[in-house]
Amino acid sequence: MASLNLGKLKIKPIYMWQITTLILFTLMLMLVLSFLIYKNFTYENKDKLSQLQQDEQTLKDDLVRKVSLLNSIDLYKEKESALNDLSAKVGLQFPTSEELPNVLIQINQVSEDSDFKIKNFTPKSPAVAKENSSAEKSDKINSRVYSLSASGTFDDAIKFFYQIAKIPRVMELSNFQMSRIDDAQINISCDVTIFYSD
């Protein structure tokens, strides 16, 4: 826009509207460039930051869960050991089929100790096998039912059944019937189911 005239530089006059237009154009260009820069750096970084925060929270939750599981391993081992001990103690309360006569002898001995006379103590039914649901398939719990008929005083009967309950074997008394013989004597008949393992 400048023209050279005889070695002198001649400058065209600049009007106010040209300056205003140039400033507006420059401002618009700066606004568009700043928007593009803002969009490229801020929005993408905001999305990345949000994703990183979600990943961080997921990792923290996973870490907390794994640390709690790690801390509970000792508690689990203690509980497992306690359950194994309890299982062994319960297993001791089931006599084997070879020990079944000893249990019958114990019941007879309790009768003699309590002065409650056993009149009849005979097997009622053959052995019934039930699978133990918590054990392996080969471990079965069998039961044998005996018919018991005994007589004595009421105090002797209480002493007898109290001593039976103290025997560390799994037994069930069912079909319990009591009748009076005279003023001092009673007659009791019941089924005694003795559980044993193979």
CATH of the domain at 188: 3.30.70.60
Give the angle subtended at the CA of 187 by the CAs of 182 and 193, to the nearest 5°: 170
| Shared-domain flag, residues 83 and 116 | no
- Which one of 92, 114, 143 terminates a domain? 92
Q: What is the CA radius of gyration of the chain?
A: 48
Condensed to tens digits (0 to 9), the pLDDT of residues 40-83 reads 776 666 778 888 999 999 999 999 998 888 888 888 889 999 99
Q: Of residues 50 and 169, which shows the higher confidence score?
A: 50
Place of tokens 């700066």: 30
| Shared-domain flag, residues 65 and 122 | no
Give the structural domain span for 31.
Answer: 16-92
Q: Is the pLDDT of residue 1 over 50?
A: no
Q: Is the pLDDT of residue 110 over 70?
A: yes
> Does 5 map to a domain?
no
Rounded mean pLDDT of 191-197? 84
Residue 115 φ/ψ region, left for φ over 0, alpha for ψ in the -120 to 50 degree band, beta for the rest: left
- Tell me what the pLDDT averaged over the chain comes to: 81
- Which one of 49, 69, 92 terminates a domain? 92
Q: What pLDDT, on a 0 to 100 scale, did the predictor assign at position 70?
A: 84
> Does 149 map to a domain?
yes
> Does 29 map to a domain?
yes
Q: What pLDDT, on a 0 to 100 scale, did the predictor assign at position 127?
A: 54
Q: What pLDDT, on a 0 to 100 scale, did the predictor assign at position 139?
A: 61
| Shared-domain flag, residues 159 and 109 | yes
pLDDT class of 137 with cuts at 50, 70, 90: very low
Q: What pLDDT, on a 0 to 100 scale, did the predictor assign at position 69?
A: 84
Measuring CA to CA, which residue among 163, 141, 149, 140 is closest to residue 192?
149
| Shared-domain flag, residues 88 and 104 | no
pLDDT class of 17 with cuts at 50, 70, 90: confident
